[in-house]
Amino acid sequence: MDNQTKFGKVGVLFGGRSAEREVSLMSGTGVLQALKSKGVDAHGFDPAECSLADLAAEKFDRVFIALHGRYGEDGTLQGALEQLSIPYTGSGVMASSIAMDKIMSKRIWLSHGLPTPRFRSLEAATATDSELEKAAQELGLPLMLKAPHEGSTIGIVKVTDAGQLRAGFDECARFDDVVLAEEFISGREITVPVLGSGRQARALPIVEIRAPEGNYDYQHKYFSDDTKYLCPAPLDEATTSVIQALAVRAFNALGCTGWARVDFMLRERAAGTDASIEALLLEINTAPGMTGHSLVPMAASAAGMSYEDLCVEILGSARLGMDLVRDWSLSKA
């Protein structure tokens, strides 16, 4: 069966109206071209320029979600697609919503005994200077302030001294009604893409990110050639296996399906402890970037999978909610 017959008419949803629109346009353009090159009857669709009625009128047999951030990665679009009975790639409504919330993700991981940096949640509208100072005392300086519902390093500030707390907090509060204060982890930054669901979920090779001066910001993530990526990451076999297994556990703990990317910081342990490296979970992206600088295609390439084949595999995992629940439950059995 050729891909046009197998998948029918496919919509690639990209652009949107989140703060990550520019990145989504790059991701979606790449996915659209890749699917067309594999014989898929693929069409671009920008929810910022077209309505849900327009989406229904297209009569897509399935869609590839290449939207990032709010209104595309947070469960809202997934709910609309459920109502329209259009199978879609990635996680379902609840898992998408939870994974988009860094604070809720951390709470669930901790309930599963999974490691994540220490944190506090602060109300954007009401947090006082004394509350900010208390958070700094508890977590130590430097610390990270984050808008917990944003991605692509948007709404993230590193605070190195107490005098920066209020300005850093106010910057993050521009993007969200809650601000995450998180322990700063000095170490190596890595990411682990995961494909599949439940027991069939598998981790791809680990990517290590080495940004100039450790500053993996929006510019260094998408546009700079100064950031270095090591894939597979230079880790011994045992450590690699442990981290990949942890990524799959984190993925399944949130009920994720289809594909995602799990971000970590690695902290060196003191000499004499059981392990030399401690892996700490930062967040999960349930609709990761698919640009020329993106990390999921890089890891897939290291595993021998082309960008085009990766797109086709992800498209093949498109499901509706009840199908996702059934497939996830069966894969856990």
Catalytic residues: 20, 152, 222, 261, 263, 283, 285, 289
First to last CA, the chain: 30
Q: What is the DSSP string of 5-58?
A: HHH-EEEEE---SSTTHHHHHHHHHHHHHHHHHTT-EEEEE-TTTS-HHHHHHH
Q: In a 3-state reduction of DSSP, which class is residue 163?
A: helix
Yes or no: say if 101 and 53 are a contact pair by the CB < 8 Å rule.
Answer: no
Provide the token pair at 142: 């430097």
Measured between alpha carbons, how far is 99 from 285 in angstroms, rounded to an integer? 7
Measured between alpha carbons, how far is 231 from 265 in angstroms, rounded to an integer? 16
Contacts of 53 (CB under 8 A, 6+ apart): none
